[in-house]
Amino acid sequence: MKTFLLKIKHEFMKALPPTIFFFIILHIVALIRALMIKGSGVDLPVSASVLIASLVLGKSVLVADMLPFINRFPDKPLIWNVSWKTLMYALVALVVHYLERLYDYWKETHGFMDANSLLWSSMNWPRFWAIQILLMTLIFMYCVIAELARVIGRDRLKVMFIGPLPPKSAKSAEGA
């Protein structure tokens, strides 16, 4: 039982960074979408749906990372793996984004073909692609950070990014 709990904890800790990242960026995307459609009367996802989406995306990244073809260029310069993973994750984001819109229309029409037809005819394509470009840019940022962490190690990246805490000097200890 203890090994099972340790495994659950390990998986949770692995899923936490991408989930937090996607939670933040999906809120940014939701905010931008809200600003883009302000006054149009269209409902936007609330934090709970963004949380669920970020949990799904966070776990999806971990599952995708286990696939043999996702880490396709480990011995080449980082841009190869970053570009490849960005493309793969962006394709998944494109499908999820499209299916999210399709679901909204499916609730209205109660049929897949009718919903798809209505979606194609009424979709604001410039806004759809603007969101996709934003997502792709944010996914690229995630992939750069993840690849750097893979190559130089999480701890070293953390120290390089955040820095070590400065040691307390004798003077600052005396003045306290």
Residue ranges per structural domain of the chain: 2-164
Neighbouring C-beta atoms of residue 19, cutoff 10 Å: 20
Which one is predicted more confidently, 42 or 65?
Answer: 65
pLDDT greater than 60 at residue 5: yes
pLDDT greater than 60 at residue 157: yes
Burial state string for 50-73 with b = 16 or more CB within 10 A and e = fewer than 16: bbebbeebbbbbeeeeeeeeeeee
Distance CA 14, CA 58 (A): 9
pLDDT greater than 70 at residue 172: no
Distance CA 161, CA 118 (A): 47
Distance CA 62, CA 22 (A): 13
Start-to-end CA span in the chain (Å): 48
Average the pLDDT over each of 17-21, 77-81, 141-145 and give the range with the smallest value. 17-21
Which one is predicted more confidently, 26 or 171?
Answer: 26
pLDDT greater than 60 at residue 170: no
Residues 30, 50: contact at Cβ < 8 Å? Answer: yes
Neighbouring C-beta atoms of residue 4, cutoff 10 Å: 8
Q: DSSP code of 42?
A: -
Q: What is the pLDDT of residue 35?
A: 77
pLDDT greater than 90 at residue 79: yes
Distance CA 73, CA 84 (A): 8
Q: What is the pLDDT of residue 40?
A: 60
Q: DSSP code of 68?
A: T
Residues 84, 74: contact at Cβ < 8 Å? Answer: no
Please identify which residue in the block is written with the tokens 């990244």. 61
